[in-house]
Amino acid sequence: MQVIRMSMARRVLVFVLRTLSRLLLAVIRLVSFFSPKPPCLSPPQDPLLLIPASVLAEKIRRGKVKCSDVVQSFIARIQEVNPIINALVYDRFDEALHEAKAVDDLVSSGTQDEATLKENYPLLGVPLTVKEAFALQGMPQSSGLISRRSIHSEHDAVVVSRLKRAGAIPLGVTNCSELCMWYESSNNVYGRSRNPYNSQHIVGGSSGGEGCVIAAGGSVMGVGSDIGGSIRMPSFFNGIYGHKPTPGIVPNDGQFPNAHGTERTELLCTGPMCRYAVDLSLVLKVMAGQNVEKLSLNKDISLHSLKYFSMENDGGCLFVSPMDNELVEAQRKVVKHLEAELGVSVQPIKIYNLRYSFQIWTAAMSSDCSEEQSFTDLMADGGTMWPSFELLKWIFGLSKHTLPAIALALTEKLASLNAKGNAIMIQKAKDLKEEINSLLGDDGILLYPSHSKIAPKHNEPLAMPFNFAYTGIFNVLGLPVTQCPLGLSEAGLPLGIQIISSPYNDHLTLALAQHLEKSLGGWTPPGSI
């Protein structure tokens, strides 16, 4: 009898959640229908915008192209597209052109031969953009918080410093969600970023401006951070490549907010976002510094000898939307390709505990946070904030915060109060980690959806706020993941897939991403179809 009652309660909960979600979606879509349609992007025409970072660096070192011309081309592209997409929120164009001239002078001086230049400056002269949450000297670092909009960085974050020392030239900083905790990049400091393939759709978050400007051809590589999918969702929604490394490989220092001294430290990862798969390893090496020795990025990979597994959905989480059919078909296309081209067998699997991905991520974020500022504390920025009162202010248009940030602050304490439930989910996470690591070993790859929906329209995530669980679970499990684009949907929006391996086997996912780029195609320029 008790089992029957629990089953009935579950059905009622599912019905209520889906009904509320559909009603909210209907309202959002009705408002969107009557909103003016923004202009579309045209594809980049300048050939310099279509060259991978590794090739650009080589051409600059050899004097085949001038760094000044490269940087000017990217600046012109940003100036062309940014009024539509609102991706770059603060530029340093004058400084970038000055640094480009210094690169040209270095190359023309002949004081260092090509081999020495490659060793000292593997990214010589390559344009770079940086998520605004990272410190870039002279640039703002508000993370979308109004109380921080006047703060400018006096130094560089560690990864930014390493990229600059490797010869990369930052063009500016890009938009993110408020305090980097929502999967639509919109805030009250810079406004909303818009998808380059259809500006009525989201760019993802929190590294959404970064994914957007790279996809639009305004940058070839960038810096992102990921605590629940903040590299991978924007890479997916914008049709580019992103990599969440094994935790601890790339330093998180120099971003706001950061995670120190708690369980969240293991969840947060800094990593590369690139238009071309071939660039991920190079940028990751620079970002990782000496920690790159913990990986095997130079190891030759025989893709034919690996084990492959595929799971097409999370198994049926109550809180997450059903999978879009086009995403399922895109994943099946990858499976068929691997089996036909590599002669491997891709085993379909069902991992039961993945259906609890959202609950597990929430429990992990609530665990052992006594030494860390709460999200509400971060929003208050040294002051006092009452989330319920802030919601009332928002209703009347008086709040300085976005609705998703207020909602997270409201639910934060509720999640932390459920100690018993959290403990159960933390144990599930441990079991799940052991199960997947045992399954993959050191030669296994898991194919898994990036998200349950193709890039939604603006504000639609409010009706399906937990869909990030498809990416967030792998932060908890500490697994390296490469986000890989798979062409465009019938509506012209990017498709994609996550490629997962066990810890310190990043080279496997990166190698497969390069293979799929060569065989199935990678980034598709917006406006080209």
> Which residues belong to the active site?
131, 206, 230
Letter for the amino acid at 193?
A: S
Q: Which residues of 448-470 are buried (b: 16+ CB within 10 A; e: fewer)?
A: bbbbbbbbbbbbbbbbbbbbbbb
Between CA 70 and CA 52 the distance in angstroms is 12
SS3 of residue 107 by DSSP: helix
SS3 of residue 447 by DSSP: strand
Letter for the amino acid at 210?
A: E
Between CA 123 and CA 92 the distance in angstroms is 19
Retrieve residue 456's tokens.
């939604």
- Write out the DSSP string of 135-191: --TTSB--TT-GGGTT-B-SS--HHHHHHHHTT-EEEEEE---GGG-SSS-EETTTE
SS3 of residue 351 by DSSP: coil
If phi > 0 it is left, if psi is from -120 to 50 it is alpha, else beta; for residue 276 that is beta
Compute φ and ψ for 321, nearest 5 degrees.
-65, 150
- Write out the DSSP string of 507-528: HHHHHHHHHHHHHH-----TT-
Do 372 and 264 contact (CB within 8 A), yes or no? yes
Between CA 381 and CA 259 the distance in angstroms is 16
Do 409 and 376 contact (CB within 8 A), yes or no? yes
Between CA 70 and CA 301 the distance in angstroms is 33
Do 491 and 239 contact (CB within 8 A), yes or no? no
| CB hemisphere CA count around 4 (13 angstroms) | 1
| Sheet order of strands, 88-91 included | 88-91, 169-174, 127-131, 221-226, 269-274, 241-244, 481-488, 494-500, 444-448, 307-310, 346-348
Between CA 473 and CA 224, with CA 253 as vertex, the angle to 5 degrees is: 50
Helices (H) and strands (E) in the chain, counts: 18, 13
| CB hemisphere CA count around 325 (13 angstroms) | 1
Do 470 and 418 contact (CB within 8 A), yes or no? no
Letter for the amino acid at 392?
A: L
